[in-house]
Amino acid sequence: MGILFIPILLVIMYLLILRPQQKRMKEQRAMLSVLDVGDDVRTDSGIYGTISDLDGDTVFLMVADGVEIKISKASIAEMIRYDDEE
């Protein structure tokens, strides 16, 4: 019984922790790969804005009229979809 405990525990840990995390990372990479100028996004820190320029791993985000910030592409948490765009 003791011999089976550790492998069973490792399988449970993989299924409950590692696999969902890998799935989220895959979805995040897919979302980042399709970003384009004009997309509305939210950053990890909660800043909402519109992408005004992309330069490799750097994103320029328009957060207000005449206010543009430079952020890392990896800090984008989600693309904002509005209901009327369906």
**Based on the domain organization, do 26 and 53 belong to the same domain?**
no
- Name the pTM for this structure: 0.71
Domain extent, residue 55, equals 36-81
**Based on the domain organization, do 44 and 72 belong to the same domain?**
yes
**Based on the domain organization, do 26 and 52 belong to the same domain?**
no
Residue 28: Cβ-neighbour burial (10 angstroms; 0-12, 13-18, 19+): middle
Decide which of 6 and 48 is more confident.
48
Predicted confidence (pLDDT) per residue in 50-63, tens digit:
999 999 999 999 99
pLDDT (0 to 100) of residue 85: 54
d(CA 85, CA 81): 7
Split into its structural domains, the chain has a count of: 2
20-24, 39-43, 48-52: segment of lowest average pLDDT = 20-24
**Based on the domain organization, do 21 and 51 belong to the same domain?**
no
Mean pLDDT across 1-22 = 87
Mean pLDDT across 59-81 = 95
66-74: Cβ within 8 A, 24+ apart: 71/43, 71/47, 73/32, 73/35, 74/32
Quick one: tokens of 27? 């979805």
